[in-house]
Structure 1
Amino acid sequence: MSRYLVDKFLYTVDRDPDLVERYRAEPRGTVLWWEAERANSVLNCHGGEASTWLRFTDDEREALATHDHVALFALGAHPFLTLTLFIAMFERDHGPLEYQKAFGARLAHFSMPYPDIAT
């Protein structure tokens, strides 16, 4: 499980409006492209530094590719990173706070202790 990589994906996509739209329109392709092209770049580094070993698990890749925030939460993705990105993608399709309430309701079956979100 690579919570760091999932959180890095959520963080970097959320901060680029073009990537937000790309992820909304073509989630699976965006996840595969990001994993191949961006996953191993050093976060917030503009130079040529990169690692070579970071990869999503099959479960992480599938949850990201299907916009499954419940599965992402169960896998340990940080809920605030997931929520802010998903608000950017889907809030426009709903009334005021409607999306946020539905997002929370889909997580209501989780009880404490919640999945570990430490990276």
Structure 2
Amino acid sequence: MSKYLLNKFLFTVDRDPELVERYREDPRGTVEWWEADMANRILNCHSGEASTWLRFEEVERTALSTHDYPKLFELGAHPFLTLTLFIAMFERDHDGLGFQLEYARRLSHLTLPYPDIAT
């Protein structure tokens, strides 16, 4: 499992409004495309350098493909990255702080110590 790769996905998608919408509308397709085309690109590198070994494990791919942010948190994805991305995708479907409250409710089964988010 790669917390780095999970966080890289959340970070890069959250910073591109078109990718946010793509991920909202077609999560599985977006995850498959991102894993094939973007996962091995080196962040902030515009020279074409890339690695070749990064891949999601099935549990990670499934959690991303189903917008399962509680599972992503359990897997060690950074909670700030999950919260900001999922707010961008789903805040419009709720009134006021409705999505943030839903996020908290769905994570309420977790107790300290939280999963390790170090990468």
Please report the TM-score for the alignment, with normalisation by the length of structure 2.
0.99
**Structure 2 partner of 1:56:** 56
Question: What amino acid is aligned across from residue 112 of structure 2 in structure 1?
Answer: M
Q: CA RMSD in A?
A: 0.5
**Gaps spanning 5+ residues in structure 2: where?**
none
Matches within 5 A, 1:79-98: 79-98=79-98
Q: Is residue 13 of structure 2 the alignment partner of residue 22 of structure 1?
A: no
Once the two structures are superposed, residues 3-47 of structure 1 have per-residue CA deviations (whole angstroms, 9 ceiling, x without a partner) of: 000000000000001000000000000000000000000011111
**Structure 1 partner of 2:41:** 41
**Structure 1 partner of 2:106:** 106
What secondary structure, in the 3-state scheme, does the structure 1 residue paired with 2:34 have?
helix
Question: What amino acid is aligned across from residue 117 of structure 1 in structure 2?
Answer: I
How far did 1:69 drift? 0.3
Distance in 1 (CA, whole Å) between partners of 2:100 and 2:111 is 19
Distance in 1 (CA, whole Å) between partners of 2:13 and 2:118 is 20
Question: What amino acid is aligned across from residue 21 of structure 1 in structure 2?
Answer: E
Distance in 2 (CA, whole Å) between partners of 1:97 and 1:44 is 33
Percent identity of equivalent pairs: 71
What secondary structure, in the 3-state scheme, does the structure 2 residue paired with 1:50 have?
coil
Please report the TM-score for the alignment, with normalisation by the length of structure 1.
0.99
**Gaps spanning 5+ residues in structure 1: where?**
none
Distance in 1 (CA, whole Å) between partners of 2:56 and 2:64 is 10
